Amino acid sequence: MAASYISVPRDLTKVKSKVMFNLTKRQLICFSAAALLGVPSFFLVKQVAHLTVAAIVMMIIMMPLFFLAMYEKNGQHLEVILRHFIEARFIRPKVRPYKTDNKYSALIRYQKAEGEIKQILQEGGSKR
């Protein structure tokens, strides 16, 4: 008799609850939206263009929704990754200078300012 094994994932945080057809709620919503947009567009384009063109147009309409449903990297979905990319590439400034203000540099500035004050007071006292 052969033993049958069931694979159990080691990291249970990556396990997602399946709703229907072994798909998550997110995948069901995105696939349904893709079907609602893609299938009617196929039949509309098929009336005015060749069947191949209609199929390509349908795929172009449906693929972004498939990517939204399926793509995930480091626990982040596609829209989060795209938002971070757009912020880093277009919204935030390109050059971010590194500036520090530690206590040592503050003490150096204080000593320098104090020396300048003493020098000004000495020069002011000698003019009288």
| Half-sphere exposure in the Cβ direction for 58 (13 Å, CA) | 18
CA angle, residues 11, 14, 19, in degrees to nearest 5: 135
- DSSP notation for 42-77: HHHHHHHS-HHHHHHHHHHHHHHHHHHHH-EETTEE
Which regions of the chain are under pLDDT 50? none
Would you say residue 71 lies in a domain?
yes
CA 10 to chain centre: 27
Give the pLDDT of residue 127: 59
Would you say residue 112 lies in a domain?
no
Give the pLDDT of residue 7: 74
Q: Tell me what percent of the chain is helix, strand and coil, each rounded to the nearest 5.
A: 65, 5, 30
Give the pLDDT of residue 69: 86
Would you say residue 43 lies in a domain?
yes
pLDDT in tens, 76-101: 888 899 999 999 898 888 887 887 77
Would you say residue 59 lies in a domain?
yes
Would you say residue 11 lies in a domain?
no
Would you say residue 103 lies in a domain?
no
Could you list the residue range(s) of the whole structural domain that residue 84 is in?
A: 16-95
Cα separation, 89 vs 78, whole angstroms: 16
pTM of the predicted protein model: 0.55
59 contacts 45 by C-beta, under 8 angstroms? no
112 contacts 102 by C-beta, under 8 angstroms? no
Count: domains in the chain? 1
Give the pLDDT of residue 9: 65
Would you say residue 82 lies in a domain?
yes
Beta-carbon contacts of 69 under 8 Å, excluding residues fewer than 6 positions away, are 26, 27, 29, 30, 31, 34
Give the pLDDT of residue 99: 76
Give the pLDDT of residue 60: 95
Would you say residue 24 lies in a domain?
yes
